[in-house]
Structure 1
Amino acid sequence: MELALLKNKKGTLLHPITGMISFLCGIFSLVELNINYLFLSSFFLPQALYSIPVLGIFSGMVALFTRRSKMYAWWGIGLNIFVLLFSFVILILAWSINPKP
């Protein structure tokens, strides 16, 4: 009887959507990165380029512990890590080309 009650407990709504939040943070970061490079100016806050992927990685790590949103979590973590690595590599290459103006 008690086991039946334990199986009927539903989790909070936060756990199934954390993978989707991670994936959407990755997509939004890619859109933001492309807009900034296409128009050669920063339409978004410069801190958002680094804070949104970190939020996406954190929510993806939380989503890995759920059953429903693991696929979105892996995609979100991958996209967010790509955006962070791309940003840091571009920053390092830009400094190496012209370190002193």
Structure 2
Amino acid sequence: TLEGAALVMAAFSTRFGAFGRIFITLSVMLFAFATLIGWSVCGESAARYLSPRWGSCVYRICFLFACMIGAVQDLTLVWQLSDLFNGLMAFPNLIGLIGLRRHVHPPA
């Protein structure tokens, strides 16, 4: 049974032939590349804010290491870790919301 991008690729190839496989492959590659760049810029900006002197360098090393590890791991594990870490981002956001609650005023 097919799932994920392989399922989409099979569906496109039944209608568009070889072009469908090429189109989906390129689309997934470009989306993955754009996502890596977006997370890299966002994370590096946050690291630079938290530690102006060393934050950017440390973040780049950690990001490259995570990319290398993620590229060779099982896809299911990568998705599970991604979901876990995105879920854990709720905690610092909730702490920030609680800390800033006095600065939020109800509408008049």
Fold shared per TM-score above 0.5: no
| Superposition TM-score, scaled by structure 2 size | 0.35
Structure with bigger RCO (C-alpha 8 Å, 6+ apart): 1
Normalising by the residue count of structure 1, what TM-score does the alignment of the two structures yield?
0.37
Larger Rg: 2
